[in-house]
């Protein structure tokens, strides 16, 4: 993934900035020893930092579909990582370096993301844009002077390029078979039990017992069901008798008030 970004940046700079000129594009660390060996004009893109872009992290899962539009797997969304490049120009005269930096800045400002037609390999397969930014202020946790101090070199005019690259290296979870109308059996009420469990073919899982396929009330033999029915009938009779007694008392009270009794 990182080497693909390197190839795209090299091709972009050669095509839109150098225009076939005899200037090399390298990715070396600009240390003091390396600078002492530079004897030809070149543009250096030093990758000095790699960290995740937390603002672009997504939650949930993405679906993968087959040719029939059925979900076959689910995977995590891509995570974006920021590749920070320190861009410097190396020539014999400072004026030529400034002119080259100006051309590089103008070229990179024209693109808010890596050109889609230049994406190759895994970046082209993902199908997501690869945003980039140029010459933004450095984050609070570091400065460019610290980078040069760590390299052991002298401070030099530079451009900071940040490319947010999507990475899809995450596990994929296989989805279960689609839910269909076949194999579903539901029964209600008192029906005779069967000694053999009902099994019907299900999509992708033939021979498994179907939920609700063994009818009948759970844990009830004929004698137990008869006792339950008798208990319910007795409860109904008590409720009826209670209502009847209450109605009789109310009627007698009404007749007393009317003087008819």
pLDDT in tens, 123-164: 888 878 899 999 888 777 667 777 878 887 778 889 999 999
Q: Output the pLDDT for position 155.
A: 82
pLDDT score of 104: 94
Distance in angstroms (rounded) separating the CA atoms of residues 82 and 53? 6
Q: Give how far Cα 256 sits from Cα of 118, 242, 246, 251, Å.
A: 103, 22, 16, 9
189 pLDDT above the threshold of 70: no
In this prediction, residue 233 carries a pLDDT of 56
Residue 98's pLDDT is what?
95
Q: Is residue 115 predicted with pLDDT exceeding 80?
A: yes
Q: Which carries the bigger pLDDT value, residue 114 or residue 121?
A: 114
Return d(Cα 27, Cα 6) in angstroms, integer: 8
Task: Tell me the C-alpha distance between 113 and 26, whole Å.
Answer: 21
- Torsion angle defined by CA atoms of residues 146, 148, 151 and 157, in that order, rounded to the nearest 10 degrees: 160
72-106 pLDDT per residue, tens: 777 777 788 999 999 999 999 999 999 999 999 99
pLDDT at position 26? 93
Residue 191's pLDDT is 55
User: What mean pLDDT is predicted for residues 162-184?
Assistant: 74
Interhelix angle 94-109/2-13, rounded to 10 degrees, is: 110
Which has more confidence, 58 or 159? 159
d(CA 249, CA 89): 109
77: which 2 tokens? Answer: 């969304």
Whose structure tokens read 């199908």? 127
CA–CA separation, 258 vs 159, rounded Å? Answer: 107
Identify the residue whose tokens are 């033999």: 221
Among 14-28, 100-114, 239-253, the least confident range: 239-253
Q: Provide the percentage of residues in the chain whose pLDDT is more than 70.
A: 66
Q: Which of 144, 196, 175, 193 minimizes the C-alpha distance to 70?
A: 175
Which of 60-64, 188-192, 225-229 is most confident? 60-64
More confident residue, 66 or 137: 137
DSSP state string for the chain: -HHHHHHHHHHHHIIIIITT-S-EEE-----HHHHHH--S-EEEEEEEEEEE-GGG---S-EEEE-TTS-EEEEEPPPEEEEEEEEEEEE-SSHHHHHHHHHHHHHHHHT-SB--GGG--HHHHHH----BEEESPPPPTT--HHHHHHHHT------EEEEEEEEE--S-EEEPPPPP-STT-----S-----SSPPB---TT-TTPBPTT-S-S-TT--HHHHHHHHHHHHHHHHHHHHHHHHHHHHHHHHHHHHHT--
Assess contact for 42 and 26: CB atoms under 8 A: yes
Confidence of residue 217 (pLDDT cuts 50, 70, 90): very low
């Amino acid at each position: 993934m990182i080497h693909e970004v390197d190839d795209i940046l090299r091709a972009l700079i050669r095509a839109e900035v150098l225009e076939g000129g005899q200037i090399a594009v390298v990715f070396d660390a600009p240390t003091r020893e390396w600078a002492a060996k530079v004897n030809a004009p070149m543009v250096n893109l030093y990758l000095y930092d790699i960290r995740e872009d937390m603002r672009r992290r997504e939650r949930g899962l993405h679906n993968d579909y087959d040719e029939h539009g059925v979900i076959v797997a689910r995977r995590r969304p891509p995570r974006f990582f920021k590749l920070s490049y320190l861009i410097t120009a190396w020539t014999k005269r400072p004026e030529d370096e400034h002119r080259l930096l100006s051309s590089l800045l103008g070229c990179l400002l024209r693109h808010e993301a890596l050109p889609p037609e230049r994406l190759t390999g895994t970046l082209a397969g993902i199908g997501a844009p690869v945003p980039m930014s140029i010459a933004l202020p450095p984050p609070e946790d570091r400065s460019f002077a610290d980078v040069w101090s760590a390299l052991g070199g002298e401070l030099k005019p530079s451009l900071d390029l940040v490319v947010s690259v999507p990475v899809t290296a995450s596990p994929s979870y296989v989805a279960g078979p689609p839910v269909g109308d076949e194999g579903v059996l539901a029964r209600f009420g008192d029906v005779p039990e069967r000694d053999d469990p009902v099994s019907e073919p299900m999509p992708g899982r033939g021979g498994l017992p179907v939920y609700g396929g063994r009818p009948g009330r759970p844990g009830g033999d004929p004698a137990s069901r008869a006792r339950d029915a008798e208990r319910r009938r007795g409860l109904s009779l008590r409720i009826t008798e209670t209502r009847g007694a209450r109605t009789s008392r109310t009627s007698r009270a009404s007749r007393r008030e009317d003087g008819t009794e």
